[in-house]
Chain A
Amino acid sequence: MSDHAHPAAASTGDVLVVEDLVVTTRGREPAPILDGISLRVGAGETVCLVGESGSGKSVTSLATMGLLPKGALTARSGRILVEGEDVLTASSARLRQLRATRMSMIFQEPMTALNPVMTVESQLEEVLSAHASMSTADRRTRIRDILSLVHLPDVERMCRSYPHQLSGGQRQRVMIAMALVLEPRLLIADEPTTALDVTTQKQILKLIREIQERLGTSVLFITHDMGVVADIADRVYVMRAGEIVESGPIQAILTAPTKPYTRNLLTAVPALRPRDARPAASREIVLETSALGMTYSQGSLFRKREGTVAAMDVNLILGRGRTLGIVGESGSGKSTVARCVMRLIEPTAGSIRLRGSDISGLSRRALRPWRKRIQMIFQDPNRSLNPRLTVGDSITEGPINYGTPPREAREQAKTLLELVGLPKDAIDRHPHQFSGGQRQRIAIARALAMEPDVLVADEAVSALDVSVQAQVLDLLDDIQARLGVALLFITHDLRVAAQICDEVVVMQRGRVVEYGPTAEVLGNPREAYTRELIDAAPGRYWDFPNFRPLPGAAGFRDTTVPA
């Protein structure tokens, strides 16, 4: 199947054809967002649109749905044909019809896409009564059918539930049910699994695949995750800065990418294979927790109630210059451990020993000298830097607190900015003038300014694009080698953990499930839960940086398009 060149005339089987679509911002000086892109989605096909943030992949999907934000973006030229009908010229009444019956969309965050004050049944009912003339009884049956199609357990209870009573995966299933209840020909999925845990993601991907085969729906799947692409795509379009860089069948893209950008994107995907073991440079233990526990109590005024256990009996040992990873799904307690270790929250049990001294019971005042020794890098670099302070003010705040003269602290900050790969003159700028990756570098510089023994990185690369993620991971590795700082690295991403950690702790529901050297835990897991996590990692049979399937793996999906 070769489709690098798109025929201008749509072949009859295509459900979606986009031709030379140009979308720009409105206003006197329109800036191009999509710069003449063309793509097509055949009947029953899964097409992935992959790219980093700002590449225009979401705008493409919104334009297809006729949902471009009216005041901000406008389609200047091109055509979007859904089963031959041009979306760009359709009236808004017609668009409303098309949206439910021909094409539908599922979003990243199912909680905000569902109406919180309506039951699942009434939301589905609303869709049906707006677009289909059916009797009440027919609608009831249809709703129950579609909910069982998406494998929701206990359909009757689901019908009566409100969105907040469902888990994230169940909500996304409801969203899929809503999108498919009128059996549209085209399903647009915009990062539908990004907010979900890996095990849930795996189930949802499987569900989309299964439904597609049963109903013959075509899927336009938007994602930033090459692993997901490898798992579900028939064909791939790689986008960058509003243009399609490369397109082709999944196998061709993964094994023989022709464009340098695609190659970079693939080589940046961290391998699931654990890093080579590093010899411990020092025997010194910088951080140790024993029987650390955190219980959130919910006692009412007079009655003591059982609290929620966020972490329990966590024992960790972190040596100087080593990296210890904590991996687990959301709610596993990994962030709780990080915040306890930082003493941002007070642990309810156990002890934290920093270079041999117990800091868990220290008062705010007594803790002050120890704060210096342990620093944190937060997940979202947009929020971890005060937007009103200059970069210099943010970095020097800590050293000045500990008595460094401001001028000296400023000089030190400049050196640190260079160390993290930013120009010296960044010091007088504000955070909003930097990209996400650069901001994370600033946050790292701020943490390093305190000359800590331990850096706690809580999902520090999760909010970053994969290529930026690779750079920040390299930077952390480099800093560790140079300064001998120990890293406590919290992540949900096993690939990242495999890349950077010497040892790994797997957590589930507040407890440590498995703990050992990365090679053992990820290479030869003993616990069923660890195996489950590894199995769920998207694209696990694929060695992205080397453009080949992993040896011994079952190979990747059949790429033939189902009829």
Chain B
Amino acid sequence: MARRDTLPPIAEPVIKRRFLPRIELADLRFAPTLAAICLAVIVIGALLAPVIAPFDPIAMNPMERLAGASATHPFGTDAYGRDVFSRTLYGARVSLIVGIGAALVAVLIGLPLGLISGFFRWLDAILMRIMDGLMAIPSVLLAIAIVSLAGSSLWTVLIAITIPEIPRVVRLVRSVVLSAREEPYVEAAIAVGSSLPKIMWRHLTPNTIAPLIVQGTYVCASAILTEAILSFLGAGIGTETPSWGNIMSEGRLYFQLKPSLIFWPGLFLSLAILSINILGDTARDVMDPRLGKKREA
């Protein structure tokens, strides 16, 4: 047809495959990139704390109490002469363990409960009322109660923080299952005689993964914050283990004299939570097609 020539010629797309995609700086989105770098620095610092930290985080040195920032003590020292930089690095370990641990445990417990709740209507009412009850308890109060009953350790703190997060995961999984179970492919699986566990694992669970990753980051951030609050209130991990919360709690007494005692752990805490939340938001944008923003303008 003669009309064909009205179209601009279309260049054959040149596709080169590389083993590693070369990252173009201009293609990166600013906030998520910065958040990822920030979080990576904190994670590496926490992992390599024994190597990087110049001092033992709990070794006291009465000669150098409340020293200012210097080459030996970049963040100064606290009232017992302990190096704040080393303590902040080690504190990151507690925060990350609690944050990632809470997210994993909440998902591991919440996913099966949510699947069951979404699939069996008769169980749904009972389970969801229990979850409503759990959600009604203020998380910090619950944590204080559990810690005061069971004694303070990393594990009790982790459990205390995780329990109130579970209902949120259950509700999320349930809502995904409620819509996915109506899909014809689930009915088709029933028709070919697939067992219930198989239907749940093969056809329903994959739908929950993307929203769970997003929810997991929020759980992680909120767990880190709750742990810091508990430590600050003295209901968290014992003072023998440095955590951002109890570094700040101890620094509070000398706050007016040496603001840096609270500033540095506080800064790390804020940056960690902000980074995780930004990454979570980005994950949501990318994975949720309804909110998905197209990269191409």
Contact = CB atoms under 8 A, between A and B. Distances in A.
B21 interface: no
Contact of A30 (B10, B183, B190): B10
B191 A342 contact: yes
Nearest to A374: B191
Interface stretch (A8-16, A384-392, A516-524): A384-392
A374 to B, nearest CB: 8
Contacts of B3: 20, 35-36
B195 A401 contact: yes
Contacts of A387: 185
Given A344-B187, A383-B185, A32 B206 contact: no
Interface residues of B, number: 27
Contact of A384 (B6, B7, B184, B206): B184
Contact of A397 (B6, B8, B184, B194): B194
Given A71-B294, A398-B193, A29 B187 contact: no
A450 B1 CA distance: 49
Given A342-B191, A371-B192, A446-B192, A20 B184 contact: no
A76 B3 CA distance: 13
A398 B206 CA distance: 19
Most buried by A among B188, B192, B294: B192
B191 A375 contact: yes
A383 B7 contact: no
Contact of A29 (B13, B195, B206): B13
Nearest to A401: B193
A397 B189 contact: yes
A24 B7 contact: yes
Interface string B1-32: 10110111011010000000000000000000
B203 interface: yes
Contact of A372 (B10, B13, B193, B202): B193
A82 interface: no
A24 B184 CA distance: 34
A401 B190 CA distance: 11
A378 B185 CA distance: 9
A83 interface: no
Interface residues of A, number: 41
Given A32-B7, A36-B3, A386 B192 contact: no
A379 B183 CA distance: 12
Contacts of A397: 189, 192, 194, 202
B191 A344 contact: yes
Contacts of B240: none
Interface in A68-107: 71, 76-77
Given A29-B13, A378-B184, A384-B188, A76 B193 contact: no
Contact of A27 (B4, B191, B192, B296): B296
Nearest to A431: B185
Contacts of B183: 383
A47 interface: no
Nearest to B192: A398
Contacts of A76: 6-8
B188 A378 contact: yes
A128 interface: no
A288 interface: no
A322 to B, nearest CB: 21
Nearest to B183: A383
A36 B206 contact: no
Contacts of A31: 10
Contacts of B188: 376, 378, 384-385, 443, 446
Interface in B176-215: 183-185, 187-195, 198, 202-203, 206
Interface of A: 20, 22, 24, 27, 29-32, 35-36, 71, 76-77, 243, 342, 344, 368, 371-372, 374-376, 378-380, 383-389, 394, 397-398, 401-402, 443, 446, 449-450
Closest 9 CB pairs of A and B: A398-B192, A36-B3, A384-B184, A371-B193, A378-B184, A386-B185, A401-B193, A383-B184, A388-B206
Interface of B: 1, 3-4, 6-8, 10-11, 13, 183-185, 187-195, 198, 202-203, 206, 294, 296
